[in-house]
Structure 1
Amino acid sequence: MPTLLERIGCKLALFHAQRVYRHFQKAVDDAPHEQTRALRRALQVIDGSDFARRHRLTPDTTAADLRRMVPLCGYEGLRPYIERVWAGDVRALFRARSPILMFATSSGTTAKAKLIPVTKEFVRDYRRGWNVFGLKMLTDHTAAVLRPILQVTSRYNSQCSPAGIPCGAITGLLAKMQKGIVRRFYVGQPEVANIPDARARYYTLMRLGISRDVSFAITANPATLIQMARTAAQESEELIRDVADGSLSRRVVPDAALRERLASGLKPDRSRAAELERLRAAHGTLRPRDYWKLSFLACWTGGSLGHYLDTLRSWYGDIPIRDIGLLASEGRVTIPFEDAVPAGALDVTAAFFEFIPIECCHQDQPQTLLASELETGQDYAVVLTNTAGLVRYRLDDVVRVHGWLGNAPVLEFLYRAGRVASLAGEKLTEHHCAAAVRNVCQAFKLPELDFVLAPCWGDPPYYRLNCEVELSSAQVEALDRELCVQNEEYASRRASMRLGAVQLRLLAPGSLAAMDNKLMKARGAVSEQYKRVYLFTKPGDDDHILTAMRQVPCSNGAALQISNPARGGG
């Protein structure tokens, strides 16, 4: 039961969050004016910097002038300025003596991790978005109020810049900055992020939470929630023993000092251990749906990540799932307000936004539209200017407009603009692939299929489905037909024989996990931040990244390829 002090503290926090939420409601009603204010705040942060002087920017620069004076750019366009800030020269991109709290890492699609400068103004904007999201979420799920929360964060200080500024995940900084009265409701302490091994972190979080009345679990990537549940089930013998003894496994956390800090609040609980034993015997495994009374889950559900939802429910139960919105190390874009809907209102207070019509994304300097100029049903790539020093920055997340909340567009994330494959002009996206596979699985009553699709040169060229489950010819043919449904250009190329049919390549168990580890290491990403790749864009990438392959005949006479993850894998 929450203490009186905890109740008072939470009421004060709720009062503050309600004020923030009321302000956001007013902001979406007056979105154009709020966007002008957001632009001014962003320009104030860089006022007097070398970047601002080069482009003749001042806090009074208008949106029209900004679009005329500053070209659109990706991270590489800003990298020289950010690297000077990294080395200690803050004036390269910010006002003199501006404090940089940390650099947030963003893996993106490049080999070299991106470093996003985090200012106090950026933190204020980031936290405000979370406050608005959290208040609406808890207002809709009052049974979760004043109950423990399971949240996954990563280290904010995994390394330091030459100037001594920490670098890592912004979620870790936000966790560190939480008020103590609020922090007590989280089952995991910020120090959990210091455990280097992802599986050990997951075990520790589940150990800290399994004896408590967890109300909801929240993290960006649904795959993380699935891995946490699987880890607890696979390590259930040790987990139950830890619960009975009031301990944290020395094998899992060998660092004695860290283990002592994390286990400081644990007490022997033999009755809970016996209950977990009974649940495991009754269900054949240990699942969060059985040992917690969860009100909901919060994680990404849009784009290709919707592919995880069936497996997520098998572990956590058929409970509401709230998308956490389109957000990245570079900032928040949307705030969802409903369960089971992968769309949210544009956070008009977080940044100044521009949008590139999807048909113009290939252009180096396309004309952009303001939020007020978007059309329902159309797709756009996101451009932002914010208090992290990012100016006319091509985030390149592609969104679809679903409607309006006040005067703010309601947007759904679809895919990364750069994650497009095209062998014959078909422009296949991850969104197309994930939707096609999901529909085939539903049609054939298959469990969630882990896969990656890749373009291949041939006569004619074709796409190859890499997965660890042997599918029938009918299922592979159904996938090919479903891709035609999802993408009319793909259908046209198939009909004209410019593209061949989808082919299957069977991977040995563990191949896709090895691919994930290899890509995470190459991109400098943490497991909670990493988004599974479902589509390679260049022919040969799957051969290069997955493993060496050999051909064997399929039962239907087609060429089936087998992969051994021990050869050439990551």
Structure 2
Amino acid sequence: MLPRFDRTNPEACLSLLEDVTTNVKQIQDSVLEAILSRNAQTEYLKGFLNGQVDKESFKKNLPIVTYEDYRPYIDRIANGEPSDLICDRPISVLLSSSGTSGGVPKLIPLTTEEMEQRMSFTSLYAPIIHKHIEGLSEGRSLSVFFVNRESKTASGLMVRTMITCVLKSVDPITASVIWDKIQISPHAILTCADTTQSMYCQLLCGLLQRENVARLGAPFASSFLKVIKFLEDHWQELCLNIRTGSLSDWITDPQCVSGIGKYLTCPNPELASLIEQECSQTSWEAIVRKLWPKAKCIEAIITGSMAQYIPMLEFYGGGLPLISSFYGSSECFFAVNVNPLCKPCDVSYTIIPNMGYFEFLEVEKDHQKEADHDPAVVDLVDVKLGHDYEPVVTTFSGLYRYRMGDVLRVTGFYNNAPQFHFVGRQKVVLSIDMDKTYEEDLLKAVTNAKLLLEPHDLMLIDFTSRVDSSSIPGHYVLYWELGSKVKDAKLEPKPDVMEECCFTVEESLDAVYRKGRKNDKNIGPLEIKVVKHGTFDELMNFFLSRGSSVSQYKTPRSVTSVEALKILEAAVVSEFVSRKTPSWEPHELHSNR
């Protein structure tokens, strides 16, 4: 656990950061000792350790598990059995994960104590960004967040997303005294249950106070782009509200009405005309900087699968720095970005060793070879530069040797704390024959291919994929939603450009895939299906209806759901296939990815 420190004192926060990243081994050993000694009498640990709480017994006897291995214990707690099945402290909430990586949201236990630690973790990061970016304290943040539908288990235990937990953990007095001094939008609007009304009013607050916005953000790059899309669809109505000084009739939520009432007090035709002038331009390039001229940065997660949205953020942001603040999940908060102004492709996260006990499963860089041995498990202090690992966490809230499913690459060290680049999910997204295309491989291939769109003023809005086994041989199918950099331009991609995109994707995939494509014997030509505007919003709505969270939603990079595929197929407007066979050189078979 993080020691107590003054969250309001930047020097104290930075001093603590130096201390915890220097004494990594000592802290990790004490964290494991504390977790095991506290929870030794839980049913789960007794079943494996029989009262032994030393590190050696932990490593030898406790299995490394996935969510499905652990799920029976979570289900028992959800159904009313006591928390001491897994944890000595009461489980206060079950966190609902995003649900788009594995298809169904997971339920992750969280205690009140660990929730407080996560709040301290975010406070630890705050002075870092202020240190690197001047002027942030001169304004407030237009960070767009939403609460999500809550539910209760059979035993009455609350199920919430992490963001909902944070927003609802702030009491009304604290919200008015502290939160509303940091955020442009009043806390009441952020906690409105109607996400459409909340989005509208958060943007209206931001426009009304445009000169006071020092930073903008959203949880993920994709969610920030959805804010821009919403603005594109509603700017005329927002301008009308500002011009007349009256709120649209469809905004009926009492929290939104009262929250916006503080700022929408009288007609402001001058501001409305200024916003109108910018939004009616034929191109929305740099629209964020134009509407919020004093903004210093955009904050959103831009690593892993979010990296594909970087060009669009740069297009709309007009050169504003893109800040990826920290690496965390429902299971655990891990690391902070101590160099927030680095290039988006260079983002690495520095592990904070107090947040849990961290082990790492080595990931074979050569995905083409199946390991003929169990992967090595190493401690945090023993990871090696340039190697890839899957994190395995043990937390204060009752997870033990839990596999995260992410792939992290060691890029360096800050003091003695390893720094990791988030590579992606440790998951094969596409496979037909001997080929195994991982999320990272697919993202790189698409990134290379979409460069061909730029000379034609086209952008890749979003994409997903599947394997089509109805043909012999089977082949990869990519669904692309395209957008134009020029407003109201016709989206008619040229066949030769799209066919070259197909070929570039194939050329960018590994040697096993390319060998399978040789003479079309084992793998057929890759296909790109262009879908109509708004398809990926419809896909998101489908997953939200299945329990995913709007704040945490991430487009799945491969789709197997029959219902989701129906949505995609119904939206196809044009289809293109690779007309050339990619090259294959045997010596590349064992190259690093």
Q: Indicate the TM-score class for this superposition, using the shorter chain for normalisation.
A: 0.7 to 0.9
Other-structure match for 1:272 = 271
Q: Distance in 1 between matches of 2:426 and 2:39?
A: 28
The amino acid that maps onto 1:242 is N
Shift of 1:192: 3.1
Other-structure match for 1:140 = 132
1:485 pairs with 2:508: yes
Tell me if structure 1 keeps the 8 A contact 2:83–2:91: no
Shift of 1:352: 0.9
Q: More displaced, 525-534 or 421-430? A: 421-430
Shift of 1:430: 2.1
Q: More displaced, 227-236 or 168-177? A: 168-177
Other-structure match for 2:28 = 35
The amino acid that maps onto 2:553 is Y
Tell me if structure 2 keeps the 8 A contact 1:454–1:542: no
The amino acid that maps onto 2:289 is R
- Cα gap change, 1:336/1:93 in structure 2, threshold over 3 Å: closer, same or farther? farther
1:503 pairs with 2:527: yes
- Cα gap change, 1:157/1:62 in structure 2, threshold over 3 Å: closer, same or farther? farther
Aligned pairs, how many? Answer: 541
- Cα gap change, 1:203/1:250 in structure 2, threshold over 3 Å: closer, same or farther? same
Q: Distance in 2 between matches of 1:430 and 1:261?
A: 44
Tell me if structure 2 keeps the 8 A contact 1:34–1:348: yes
Tell me if structure 1 keeps the 8 A contact 2:525–2:579: no
The amino acid that maps onto 2:178 is V
| Partner SS, residue 104 of structure 1 | strand
Q: Distance in 1 between matches of 2:329 and 2:428?
A: 16
Shift of 1:55: 2.3
Other-structure match for 1:205 = 202
Query: Tell me, which stretches of 5 or more residues in structure 2 are unaligned?
Result: 483-492, 581-593
| Partner SS, residue 381 of structure 1 | strand
Shift of 1:291: 1.7
Other-structure match for 1:183 = 179
- Cα gap change, 1:550/1:152 in structure 2, threshold over 3 Å: closer, same or farther? closer
The amino acid that maps onto 1:499 is I
1:152-174 CA distances to partner (integer Å, 9 max, x unpaired)?
A: 33327722334443321222322
The amino acid that maps onto 1:328 is S
Q: Which of 454, 474, 477 is 1:461 aligned to?
A: 474
- Cα gap change, 1:154/1:52 in structure 2, threshold over 3 Å: closer, same or farther? farther
1:322 pairs with 2:323: yes
Shift of 1:274: 3.5
Q: Distance in 2 between matches of 1:125 and 1:467?
A: 41
- Cα gap change, 1:79/1:246 in structure 2, threshold over 3 Å: closer, same or farther? farther
1:290 pairs with 2:284: no
Shift of 1:384: 0.6
| Partner SS, residue 216 of structure 1 | strand
Taking only aligned residues, the RMSD between alpha carbons, in angstroms, comes to: 3.2
TM-score w.r.t. length of structure 1: 0.85
- Cα gap change, 1:120/1:489 in structure 2, threshold over 3 Å: closer, same or farther? same
Query: Tell me, which stretches of 5 or more residues in structure 1 are unaligned?
Result: 1-10, 559-570
Q: Distance in 2 between matches of 1:82 and 1:129?
A: 25
| Partner SS, residue 534 of structure 1 | coil
Shift of 1:205: 1.1
Q: Distance in 2 between matches of 1:114 and 1:539?
A: 18
- Cα gap change, 1:435/1:240 in structure 2, threshold over 3 Å: closer, same or farther? same
The amino acid that maps onto 2:252 is P
| Partner SS, residue 171 of structure 1 | helix
1:514 pairs with 2:538: yes
Shift of 1:383: 0.9
The amino acid that maps onto 1:520 is L
The amino acid that maps onto 1:218 is G
1:404 pairs with 2:404: no
Other-structure match for 1:359 = 364
Shift of 1:411: 0.8
Other-structure match for 2:587 = none
The amino acid that maps onto 1:182 is I
Q: Which of 19, 23, 33 is 1:26 aligned to?
A: 19
Q: Distance in 2 between matches of 1:12 and 1:385?
A: 27
Shift of 1:395: 0.8
The amino acid that maps onto 1:459 is I
1:344-393 CA distances to partner (integer Å, 9 max, x unpaired)?
A: 11222211111112239988975412122222222111111112211111
Q: Which of 8, 13, 32 is 1:14 aligned to?
A: 8
- Cα gap change, 1:542/1:167 in structure 2, threshold over 3 Å: closer, same or farther? closer
Q: More displaced, 358-367 or 180-189? A: 358-367
- Cα gap change, 1:37/1:247 in structure 2, threshold over 3 Å: closer, same or farther? farther
- Cα gap change, 1:510/1:155 in structure 2, threshold over 3 Å: closer, same or farther? closer
Q: Which of 429, 441, 451 is 2:450 aligned to?
A: 441
- Cα gap change, 1:549/1:317 in structure 2, threshold over 3 Å: closer, same or farther? closer
Q: Distance in 2 between matches of 1:201 and 1:517?
A: 17
The amino acid that maps onto 1:529 is Q
Q: Distance in 1 between matches of 2:164 and 2:453?
A: 42
Q: How does 1:372-383 map to 2 (within 5 A)?
A: 372-383=381-392
